């Protein structure tokens, strides 16, 4: 398994001129998994949060990962305030490359230490003061704060003010998430200068129902933005 540095380096911190990274999150079915792999996604996210319409079992993930792929994206397991035993049980069935958590920076460091994998921390941003400063973490998923009445801390299909990020000096690798779609991702990249993007509901036809065509279009539009802007 590549080292943290390799993964984090390969994943987020892209030297100038390198392609922008793409994460397709909330994959549950083979059709979307195949579409993301074949279209060249850099990461595929699997949600282990019971209240999510994208929740998937470790066994389903293990089955998907057994399928031979020429170029397989790195896998990201998504946990919300999960304890060690929950993460351990999941990893014992599905050997995920990276962990993404909805928790505290201290918990991210604990999990990295215990499970010897890169840990990305999701960070809810409304104003510039919400932008993280901690340089110790492997990476951040920068997304809007969930509405007070939301059932989920992420995956809500809402956007943040992308201009907030344009001049941000990120302390660690990061990716932009929240309300991205095939139609708005180029504008989001132009406004935020994000080195990577993450999408879930924007490539679905219904909550949890990924559209292979929307997945392909999203990735195609990111690659088109890269080509047009020599990134």
Asked if 94 interacts with ligand LARABZUK (CB under 6 A), we say no
Rg (CA), the chain: 16
Taking the complex as a whole, how short is the minimal distance between the CB of residue 17 and ligand LARABZUK, in angstroms?
A: 26
x/- map, 186-205, ligand LARABZUK, by CB under 6 A: ------------xxxxx---
CA distances from 124 to 24, 55, 223, 228 (A): 19, 21, 26, 30
Using rule CB under 6 A, residue 152 touches ligand LARABZUK: yes
39 lies in the binding site for ligand LARABZUK (CB under 6 A): no
Least gap, CB of 114 to ligand LARABZUK (angstroms): 21
Helix (H) or strand (E) holding 8: helix 4-11
Phi, psi at 5, each rounded to 5°: -60, -45
Report d(CA 69, CA 226) in Å as an integer.
25
Structure tokens at 47: 């949600």
End-to-end CA distance of the chain: 28
Q: Which stretch binds ligand LARABZUK (CB under 6 A): 56-64, 109-117, 174-182, 219-227?
A: 174-182
| Interacting residues with ligand LARABZUK (CB under 6 A) | 25-26, 45, 47, 49, 52, 54, 78, 80, 102, 141, 143, 152-157, 177-180, 198-202
């Amino acid at each position: 398994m590549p080292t943290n540095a390799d993964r984090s380096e390969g994943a987020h911190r892209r030297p100038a001129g390198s392609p922008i990274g793409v994460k397709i999150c909330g994959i549950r079915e083979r059709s979307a998994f195949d579409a993301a792999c074949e279209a060249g996604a850099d990461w595929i996210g699997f949600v282990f949060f019971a209240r999510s319409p994208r929740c998937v079992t470790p066994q389903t993930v293990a089955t998907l990962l057994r399928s031979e792929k020429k170029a397989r994206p790195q896998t990201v397991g998504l946990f919300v305030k999960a304890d060690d035993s929950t993460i351990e049980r999941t990893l014992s069935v599905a050997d995920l490359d990276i962990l993404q958590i909805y928790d505290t920076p201290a918990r991210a460091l604990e999990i990295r230490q215990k499970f010897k994998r890169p840990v990305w921390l999701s960070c809810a941003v409304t104003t510039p003061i919400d932008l993280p400063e901690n340089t110790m973490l492997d990476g951040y998923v920068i997304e809007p704060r969930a509405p007070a009445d939301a059932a989920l801390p992420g995956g809500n299909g809402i956007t943040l003010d992308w201009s907030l990020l344009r001049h941000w000096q990120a302390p660690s690798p990061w990716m932009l998430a929240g309300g991205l779609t095939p139609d708005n991702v180029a504008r989001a990249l132009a406004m935020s200068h994000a080195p990577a993007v993450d999408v879930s509901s924007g490539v679905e036809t219904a909550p949890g129902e990924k559209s292979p065509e929307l997945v392909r279009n999203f990735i195609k539009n990111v690659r088109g933005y890269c080509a047009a802007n020599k990134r």
